[in-house]
Amino acid sequence: MNKPVEVQTLPHWIGGKPVASTSGRSGEVTNPATGAVTKRVPFATAAEVDAAVKAAQAALPAWRDAPPLRRARVMQKFLALLQENQEPLARLITEEHGKTLPDALGEVQRGIEVVEFACGVPHLLKGEHSENVGTRVDTHTVRQPVGVCAGITPFNFPAMVPMWMYPVAIACGNTFILKISEKVPSASMRAAELFKQAGLPDGVFNVVHGDKEAVDAILAHPGIGAVTFVGSTPIAKYIYETCARHGKRVQALGGAKNHAVVLPDADLEFTTDALIGAAYGSAGERCMAISAVVAVGAVADPLVDLIKKKCQAVKVGPGHAEGVDMGPLVTRQHRDKVKSYVDLGVKEGAKLVADGRGLVVKGHEDGFFLGTTLFDDVKPGMKIYQDEIFGPVLIVLRVPTIEDAIALVNANPYANGTAIFTESGGAARRFENEIQVGMVGINVPIPVPVAYYSFGGWKASLFGDLHVHGVEGVKFYTRTKVVTTRWPHQDTPAPGGFSMPTLG
């Protein structure tokens, strides 16, 4: 057991400076590779959330009115600082989340790409203009910020998921409150410092820590106009419904069960290499992880054999160590929950092909490790198929035809990402057309869109209309105003009248 040691309690970041919490409630942050408690996070009270809203409201008028080009220049400096600090940020992620350092570097890179996208905000905010919608009447649109926006984020991408939100919101002229996951707080606290260093005015970006109490205070606060949530489906649904009740604009991204359909003509080496990374990378704790393989026809036996061989070769260890493919899970509680799904799968009658439960990482016996696990012959009625396990557990379902595979994927309530592996253009096109999922990969296992496209699933994977970042992110964080203009002129037709105006 680890000896209890004095650990730092993190402050919130409000009004451009660290602010100690007085809530008296807090949670532990652990290093998943060692099991040691490394920090504490305070759980904000409603009054602390209110202080963050007040700081964001105070900063809003000047920031909203700053020319977009000036806002973009702050973003460019932030971009440069993030690039300089990419490795230390990644190290913070590995220390608190457990993912490997190269994977954490990749996460920061994908976040940086959203900041790069946000640097183009002057172009993105351009409106439309139509001359002569009536005689000497013109119409144009402007995109204006919503006001104070909030983001509530999950543990699995401590830097990237928050960066799906706040760079776009802030570039559009909003101010922002981030309620970061209480399990992985440090990377976003560091980002807040870097943003200040880049010249961001105090109060434009605020970070509060907390649990349900802080989240509920955000959802109910009349000073917050828009909320973006990313996390599990039950909480996403709750956020969506609560925000709607409070009249807030909301997008709430939920959980996933991402299927990879493998057709008999797929290149097996290529496919299994892709599946191994997609299923076990980041210990399966990715919302776009492949967690279910749908093997079509005769491909099943050779496919399962090859996945088994490759998954047993995955090197598991602490995320900062050289040559490690997969780190630990985020907390002991989560590791135990994932492990309990392996027990359940055995009870449900699925065939356990590779069992990660016995794994011991030498020198890290208190770490939250679980080895790569593979089930075959899984049926749609089993809980290990129906639930999002969110760990290094890959399941294989067998179906006879592509029609059955498409029907299976479409019947699943989750619809974040999916992929097909095939050499057939016709089959791939049909899959793309018929599949009811928000993000589709063709021989690409994790089809996460780049920053200048938008990210989002369908069905129980996203509540709301608009996806995050890209043009949809700009739409979410702005309100459109339509202006109709007429200037009196000697031969302008007389205004008014009692009937609806018509064209001409």
Collapsing DSSP to helix, strand or coil, 253 comes out as strand
Q: Which of 188/271 has CB closer to ligand NAD?
A: 188
Our finding on whether 182 is near ligand NAD (CB under 6 A) is yes
Sign of CA dihedral 267, 272, 273, 277: positive
* Residues facing 39 on adjacent strands: 8, 29
**Which residue lies nearer to ligand NAD by CB, 173 or 255?**
255
Shortest Å distance, C-beta 149 to ligand NAD: 16
Which of 72, 235, 396, 428 is close enough to bind ligand NAD by CB under 6 A? 235
DSSP 500: -
Of these, 78, 461, 474, 476, which contacts ligand NAD (CB under 6 A)? 461
Does 388 participate in binding ligand NAD (rule CB under 6 A)? yes
Stretch that binds ligand NAD, among 76-84, 91-99, 131-139, 148-156 (CB under 6 A): 148-156
227: contact with ligand NAD by CB under 6 A: no
Shortest distance in whole angstroms from residue 494 CB to ligand NAD = 55
Is 287 assigned a catalytic role?
yes
What is the CB-side half-sphere exposure of residue 233 using CA atoms within 13 A? 19
Structure tokens at 456: 């989002």
Q: Which of 119, 149, 172, 287 is labelled catalytic?
A: 287
Tally of CA atoms within 13 A in the half-sphere of 294 that contains its CB: 26
Beta bridge partners of 61: none
Residue 241 found at the interface with ligand NAD (CB under 6 A): no
Under rule CB under 6 A, residue 281 binds ligand NAD: no
Among 111, 154, 158, 162, binds ligand NAD (CB under 6 A): 154
Please report whether residue 211 would count as binding ligand NAD according to CB under 6 A. yes
Beta strands in 59-214 (DSSP E): 129-134, 137-145, 148-152, 175-179, 205-208
Which range, of 119-127, 153-161, 191-199, 347-355, touches ligand NAD by CB under 6 A?
A: 153-161
**Secondary structure string (H, E, C) spanning 131-165:** EEEECCEEEEEEEEECCEEEEECCCCCCCHHHHHH
Report the nearest approach of ligand NAD to the CB of residue 265 (Å). 31
Site for ligand NAD in 390-429 (CB under 6 A): 390, 416
Q: What is the DSSP secondary-structure string of 264-324?
A: TTS-HHHHHHHHHHHHHGGGG--TT-EEEEEEEGGGHHHHHHHHHHHHHT--B--TTSTT-
Question: Binding to ligand NAD (CB under 6 A): which residues in 431-460?
Answer: 457
Of the candidate spans 108-116, 135-143, 179-187, 295-303, the one that interacts with ligand NAD by CB under 6 A turns out to be 179-187
46 phi and psi, to 5 degrees?
-60, -35
Distances (CA, A) of 133 to 26, 139, 485, 488, 498: 59, 7, 10, 16, 19
DSSP string, 447-459: -PPPTTS-B--EE
Nearer residue to ligand NAD within complex by CB, 236 or 396: 236
Which residues, at least 6 apart from 212, have a Cβ–Cβ distance to it below 8 Å? Answer: none
Smallest gap, in angstroms, from Cβ of residue 49 to ligand NAD?
A: 12
Residue 156 contacts ligand NAD per CB under 6 A: yes
Tell the smallest beta-carbon distance from residue 230 to ligand NAD (Å).
5
Question: Taking CB under 6 A as the rule, does residue 230 contact ligand NAD?
Answer: yes
Residue 485: φ, ψ to 5°? -125, 135
Instruction: Indicate whether 188 belongs to the interface with ligand NAD (CB under 6 A).
Output: no
- Helix, strand, coil shares, percent, the chain, to 5: 40, 25, 40
- Residue whose entry in the numeric block shows the structure tokens 């049909």: 430
Least distance from C-beta 164 to ligand NAD, angstroms?
8
Q: Which stretch binds ligand NAD (CB under 6 A): 56-64, 79-87, 141-149, 253-261?
A: 253-261
The residues carrying an active-site annotation are 287
Contacting residues toward ligand NAD, per CB under 6 A: 152-157, 161, 179, 181-182, 211-212, 215, 230-232, 235, 253-256, 287, 388, 390, 416, 457, 461
